[in-house]
Amino acid sequence: MALAVTYSRALDGLNAPPVIVEVHIAGGLPSLTLVGLPDTEVKEARDRVRAAIVNSGFEFPAKRITVNLAPADLPKESGRFDLAIALGILAASNQIPGNALADYEFAGELSLSGELRPVRGALAMALQAGDSGKIFVLPTASASEAALCNSGTVLAANSLLEVCAHLAEQGLLPTAVAVDTENSPNFPDLKEVRGQNQAKRALEIVAAGNHSLLMIGPPGSGKSMLAARLPGLMPALGHSAARDSAAVLSLVGQFRPERFAQRPYRSPHHTASAVALVGGGNPPRPGEISLAHKGILFLDELTEFDRKVLETLREPLESGRIHIARAARQAEFPAEFQLVAAMNPCMCGFFGHGNGKCRCTPDQIARYRGKLSGPFLDRIDLLIEVPALPAEALAGQADGETSATVRARVEQAIAIQSTRQQKSNARLSPAEVETRCTPDEAGAKLLKQAMSRLDFSARAWHRILKVARTIADLADSETVRAPHVAEAIQYRRLAGG
């Protein structure tokens, strides 16, 4: 046949729209033309495909070859179309049977020797390829990742020659098998942190309700140590949440199949730009907040981040999604991340420290803390002080609870929330807060007094109730009582209203 059609998939944000690869061979001077809005990486497929076909023992047609990647208005990027293009050329030149191509989708980058190299976004593509009813063929390294989605049939191939043998029914490709995941990741233990009982209690509440947290304290007080132990207090992700998280990480080639179901922990440096944090580029790529989807985003030295960068977090903290709009492209990525941040109390870092080293004036301290806007702080659920520890506490024996002990209480509280509302307390809508978090009479009276005296916002009202609901869940109380509300209020006093 002079015309062959194969199928592949592109990436458009987190979506993987189907791409039809049409190959036509006609008389004329030898050439290979790619049309259909290919970028530079796709255009370079001409040389990769030619070398791969020849080195696999086939003949590259010395004719005019036109390859159309449809739809024409969808930008095509990366080398994922190499395999589909090569198979189309071989089928159009009658070197392999083309009657079975309609039952498959292909994605894979070819080396010059014909070996298949892994591609980005394998999991995201496999999730949508499974709905098409077609068999998805991927490089072996990517196929084990795609097999985790449990959607459709995924075959693993090492080379172009293996795929051609499979289509010719001379050697069947194996079904991809998901790699074993790490069932018991080795997270740092909470018991290693000396003292800081209030901070440990706050971490337990944060883990149980999926709340955000800001820790303020001098250098060396243990803020980073505490944040690093938060993943160990939380249960592994369920299959659906783990699949969503893995799909985002797969888009940038950072997913590791052996870490499937582990909560991502992202800790970008304070020099990160707004695009690095929320995503962007052309084509749009996910940023740190999306790579932390279903996991934890830790921002150390919070006040050293550019203020405009931090302001970009306000919308995704509320909605759990980020919409990136550019002149030519738009994309939406999930961003249900748990924000944990740390900062010093002043420029020198020793305000309130017992050593009396701080010489910052009140105006300097106000300017330093003013780097964080009121609306940004208003979106953080818990704000706590992490004071410096005395020498006696550091020299004593570690006597706190282990991460496993705290995690047992956290899992019980999460199970209560799952039964009651099928989501974490931090994700409750305003209407759900009114029905799920209403305190008793004494608690309601206490909250009204706090709102009046501390000048909290309406958003703070709802966040206090959500935190109080989590505290009540940890205490296995069906009703939000006054002590639960009082503790939740204490975690917002540093916000200053």
Contact 342, 348 (CB under 8 A): no
pLDDT higher than threshold 80 for residue 362:
yes
pLDDT higher than threshold 50 for residue 281:
yes
Instruction: Kindly state whether residue 178 falls inside one of the protein's structural domains.
Output: no
Q: Within a 13 Å sphere around the CA of 226, how many CA atoms are in the beta-carbon half?
A: 32
Q: Which 3 state secondary structure label does DSSP give 265?
A: strand
Q: Which 3 state secondary structure label does DSSP give 270?
A: coil
Once rounded to an integer, what is the mean pLDDT over residues 245-258?
Answer: 89
| Residue 182 confidence class, pLDDT cut points 50, 70, 90 | low
Q: What is the pLDDT of residue 184?
A: 63
Instruction: Kindly state whether residue 162 falls inside one of the protein's structural domains.
Output: yes
Pairing between β-strand 64-70 and β-strand 18-26 as defined by DSSP bridges: antiparallel
Once rounded to an integer, what is the mean pLDDT over residues 85-95?
Answer: 95
Tell me, yes or no, whether 147 and 276 share the same domain: no
Q: Which CATH number covers residue 39? A: 3.30.230.10
Angle at alpha carbon of residue 70, lines to 68 and 73, rounded to 5°: 115
Q: What is the pLDDT of residue 359?
A: 85
Tell me, yes or no, whether 36 and 150 share the same domain: yes
Nearest-angstrom CA–CA distance, 283 and 273: 17
Q: Mean pLDDT across the chain, nearest whole number?
A: 90
Contact 146, 136 (CB under 8 A): yes
pLDDT higher than threshold 70 for residue 183:
no
Name the strands in the sheet holding 135-139, side by side, starting at the edge strand that comes first in the sequence: 104-106, 135-139, 154-157
Nearest to 288 by CA among 353, 333, 318: 333
| Residue 473 confidence class, pLDDT cut points 50, 70, 90 | very high
Tell me, yes or no, whether 403 and 434 share the same domain: no
Q: Which CATH number covers residue 486? A: 1.10.8
Q: What is the DSSP string of 462-486?
A: HHHHHHHHHHHHHTT-SSB-HHHHH
Tell me, yes or no, whether 278 and 375 share the same domain: yes
Nearest to 173 by CA among 195, 161, 157: 157
Tell me, yes or no, whether 9 and 53 share the same domain: yes
Once rounded to an integer, what is the mean pLDDT over residues 10-37?
Answer: 92
Q: Structure tokens of 128? A: 């949508």
Instruction: Kindly state whether residue 313 falls inside one of the protein's structural domains.
Output: yes
Q: Which 3 state secondary structure label does DSSP give 135?
A: strand
Once rounded to an integer, what is the mean pLDDT over residues 370-393?
Answer: 86
pLDDT higher than threshold 90 for residue 56:
yes
pLDDT higher than threshold 70 for residue 462:
yes
| Residue 1 confidence class, pLDDT cut points 50, 70, 90 | low
- What proportion of the chain, given as a percentage, has pLDDT over 90? 60
Tell me, yes or no, whether 128 and 43 share the same domain: yes
Q: Structure tokens of 27? A: 């008389």
Tell me, yes or no, whether 154 and 132 share the same domain: yes
Q: Structure tokens of 295? A: 């996991």
Per-residue pLDDT tens digits for 109-127 = 999 999 999 999 998 898 8
Q: Where is average pLDDT lowest: 30-34, 194-198, 210-214, 464-468? A: 194-198
Instruction: Kindly state whether residue 28 falls inside one of the protein's structural domains.
Output: yes
| Residue 397 confidence class, pLDDT cut points 50, 70, 90 | low
Return the residue matching tokens 């981040």: 305
Contacts of 291 (CB under 8 A, 6+ apart): 248, 249, 252, 254, 264, 266
Burial 368-389 (b: 16+ CB within 10 A, else e): bbeebeeebbbbbbbbbebbbb
Q: Select the more confidently predicted residue: 257 or 199.
A: 199
105 vs 138, 164, 233, 411, CA distance in Å? 9, 14, 41, 41
Q: Which amino acid is at 30?
A: P
Q: Within a 13 Å sphere around the CA of 393, how many CA atoms are in the beta-carbon half?
A: 13
Nearest to 338 by CA among 208, 445, 185: 208
| Residue 35 confidence class, pLDDT cut points 50, 70, 90 | very high
Q: Structure tokens of 403? A: 């991460």
372 vs 159, 310, 313, 343, CA distance in Å? 53, 8, 12, 11
What distance, in Å, lies between the first and last C-alpha atoms of the chain?
73
pLDDT higher than threshold 90 for residue 357:
no
Helix spans in 60-214 (H): 82-92, 122-132, 140-146, 160-167, 197-209
Q: Which 3 state secondary structure label does DSSP give 68?
A: strand
Contact 380, 206 (CB under 8 A): no
Tell me, yes or no, whether 415 and 432 share the same domain: no
Nearest-angstrom CA–CA distance, 258 and 260: 6
Q: Where is average pLDDT lowest: 90-99, 136-145, 192-201, 306-315? A: 192-201
What is the span of the domain harbouring residue 447?
428-497
Cβ atoms within 10 Å of 259's Cβ, excluding its own = 16
Q: What is the pLDDT of residue 497?
A: 39
Per-residue pLDDT tens digits for 62-87 = 999 999 999 998 889 889 999 999 99
Long-range pairs for 413-418 at CB < 8 Å and ≥24 separation? 413/208, 413/209, 413/470, 413/473, 413/474, 414/208, 414/235, 416/473, 416/476, 417/209, 417/473
Number of domains in the chain: 3
Instruction: Kindly state whether residue 496 falls inside one of the protein's structural domains.
Output: yes
| Residue 410 confidence class, pLDDT cut points 50, 70, 90 | very high
Tell me, yes or no, whether 233 and 292 share the same domain: yes
Q: Select the more confidently predicted residue: 496 or 74.
A: 74
Tell me, yes or no, whether 13 and 151 share the same domain: yes
Of 393, 424, 455, the residue that ends a domain is 424
Q: Structure tokens of 416? A: 């209560």
Q: What is the pLDDT of residue 493?
A: 76
Instruction: Kindly state whether residue 406 falls inside one of the protein's structural domains.
Output: yes
pLDDT higher than threshold 90 for residue 201:
yes
